[in-house]
Amino acid sequence: MASKLLASAASTLRRTLTEKNATYHLFRRLSTSSAAADPSPSAADSYEDADGITMKGVKISGRPLYLDMQATSPVDPRVLDAMLPYNLSRYGNPHSRTHLYGWESENAVETARSQVAALIGASPKEIVFTSGATESNNISVKGVMHFYRDKKRHVITTQTEHKCVLDSCRHLQQEGFDVTYLPVGTDGIIDLEMLRSAIRPDTGLVSVMAVNNEIGVIQPLEEIGKICKEFNVPFHTDAAQALGKIPIEVDKWNVSLMSLSGHKIYGPKGVGALYMRRRPRIRVEPQMNGGGQERGIRSGTVPTPLVVGFGAACELAMKEMEYDDKRISQLQERMLNGLRERLDGVIVNGSVERRYAGNLNVSFAYVEGESLLMGLKEVAVSSGSACTSASLEPSYVLRALGVDEDMAHTSIRFGIGRFTTEAEIDRAVQLTVQQVEKLREMSPLYEMVKEGINIKDIQWAQH
């Protein structure tokens, strides 16, 4: 009830703020004749000058510190440096076979292909460039099942997959395929015995993500791969959040297909890759038909600058993985200790041991997550996946873990990355603690808990 009140108060506040801003913008539009000089003419309520930014009714004196690395990561300057030449004079189409422009672009694309392949222990011939992990997941799930539709009618996946896998499965169900959504334990890890018993003779694909985007838990991929090999079922994994962060060996995991993304590893947005095993060969029905690029699996001109950036990001990730990992683990520890020292009721969602350190999904008891996010305007964080952050629904991933409804509403995901500093962590901890204390002070629930009342025993009256 308290959370509902807060939410409604927040939305009224937001409405008044935007209204005020709309009039402000109208003034501005009337007074300036050079609308073209405005860098963002379409952003109706944003305004930026040396004193601060006003956007969506929020005024901040500086750009917020960024702790949302699971949504996307900043582009590494070394990656941008590799990309720029292909946005300038080297603009050839990599599929042009008749001139130098095409040849140099093709060389660059092939170099990138081997850089991506090297990071996952694959052969460059097994890499298909796509627009991102969502497309790779769609090709994997729908493409495999469509190709083998005569004999294989069943897919196994988990309840905590990314939306694009779940939605592809939903699509298959509408076409008459069977889908098993495996539940996960309270730590977010699937039960291997349950997977084993779910496999049927007509199972055409097992799809389990490597690192969860919301809670950062790492699934036991090697063991899953073994089970799939035993039953001779193709294994697909969405490794968008795992690439460059945990060591990946396609042969060790025995994956047939793997989805990769560029913008989670300090590369450009709009590019990704699909790993497709050659031996034993896995085949898919293409989603995109056309010029037959990427061996006909993904037609459409390969975007040379993006692919070059993705390749450079992979090479960097390979070099920097150890260094980054050590640092990110230290920062995660610093953050968690900082929060726990000064607050009670801080709960880490998902397994603590089997977890990628750069993802810290925590719940603050008796505090509503959205209100906390609103108060933390100087820290760029989210309550979960960026895809679902528009809705006030609690995350389906947390619900799959069996997190209580009230705790699922209180989650915040801190994403730590290569460019995060100690000072940022300290500032984020300080601001979070301040905000949580402030919200708890207002919360009648917290007061009752302090008095020793068990919240679960309260009988709520219906209005």
Partner 1 sequence: MAPAAATARRVPAKSEVLGLFRSLLRTARQFTDYNIREYTKRRTVDGFRMNRTLSDPDAIASAFSDGTAQLEVAKRQVIIYSLYAPKVKSIMDVKP
Q: Which parts of this chain interact with partner 1 (CB under 8 A)?
A: 48-53, 60-66, 74, 77-78, 80-81, 84, 323, 378, 418-421, 423-424, 427
Q: 233 with 196: CB under 8 angstroms? A: no
Q: How far is the CB of 63 from partner 1 (least distance, A)?
A: 5
On the 0-12 / 13-18 / 19+ scale of CB atoms within 10 A, 36 is exposed
Residue 42: strand, helix, or coil: coil
In degrees and rounded to multiples of 5, residue 129 shows phi and psi of: -80, 135
- The residues, any chain, with a CB within 8 Å of residue 88's CB and separated by 6 or more, are none
Q: Toward partner 1, which CB reaches closer, 61 or 459? A: 61
What minimum distance in Å lies between the beta carbon of 418 and partner 1? 7
Torsional class of 57: left (φ above 0), alpha (ψ -120 to 50), beta (otherwise): left
Residue 62 CB, nearest approach to partner 1 (Å): 3
Nearer to partner 1, 74 or 270 (CB): 74
Nearest to 306 by CA among 131, 90, 78, 69: 131
The least CB distance from residue 75 to partner 1, in Å, is: 10
Q: How far is the CB of 53 from partner 1 (least distance, A)?
A: 5
264: which 2 tokens?
């989670």
CA gap 65, 161 in Å, rounded: 28
> Smallest Cα–Cα separation from 267: which of 217, 311, 208, 236?
311
**Cβ(287)–Cβ(143) below 8 Å:** yes
Q: How far is CA 178 from the centre of its chain?
A: 27
The residues assigned a catalytic role are 387
Nearer to partner 1, 282 or 425 (CB): 425
Considering only CA atoms, give the Rg of the chain.
24
Q: Which of 345, 351, 414 has its CA nearest to residue 384?
A: 414
User: Which pairs with CB-CB distance under 8 Å and at least 24 residues apart come from 46-51?
Assistant: 47/21
Toward partner 1, which CB reaches closer, 320 or 404? Answer: 320
| Residue 428 CA, distance from chain mean position | 21
Question: Minimum CB separation from partner 1 for residue 391, in Å?
Answer: 28
Question: Which tokens sit at 273?
Answer: 């890759």
